[in-house]
Amino acid sequence: MARVNPIDEAAHPELASLIADVKGQRGRVSALYGTLLNSPPIAAGWLHFLTAVRRESSLPGQYRELVILRVALLNHAPYEFNAHRGPALEAGVSDAQMTALTHWADSPLFSAEERAVLAYTDVMTKEVVVPESIYEPLKAIFSARELVELTATVAAYNLVSRFLVALDVGH
């Protein structure tokens, strides 16, 4: 049971413009956005920031979705994991890779580039401080812009999953 109830759209006509923005960007008001709408400034900022991370980034989709799925697993956020299964498939992540994400380091299903991304994701999520040995391989794969976007994606989806878990937001 969610700790904060999603808003009732009909009871908040003053949020019509923001709700329209959410629906325009996301197609619907999900449980996550319904909860966020309890604080309109947070919901608006969240929508803008996460839209930039997911839809305006030059980071290849397969890496973005692997990051999101791995962060969801590490932070015990099944809502987030399930919400990104479809986008991950569309971005080229296979069902087998999604299953293997729990033990990616021992799996032959990931390329050297994907392993570098997943190692970075794990360290950023679990330890925060990233050793040079984890960061160095990324410089050969990504531009400065992509490195910023990769880092922002890991950080943003730690925000998302921790919000979902703390407030017990689910399907």
The residue type found at 62 is Q
| pLDDT of 168 | 95
Is the distance from CB of 22 to CB of 33 less than 8 angstroms? yes
pLDDT tier at 171, thresholds 50, 70, 90:
low
Kindly report, residue by residue over 95-133, the tens digit of the pLDDT: 999 999 999 999 999 999 999 999 999 999 999 999 999
Task: Find where tokens 């407030």 sit.
Answer: 167
Per-residue pLDDT tens over the stretch 3-51: 999 999 999 999 999 999 999 998 999 999 999 999 999 999 999 999 9
Domain residue extents for the chain = 9-55, 61-166
Map residue 92 onto helix, strand or coil: coil
CATH superfamily of 61-166: AhpD-like (1.20.1290.10)
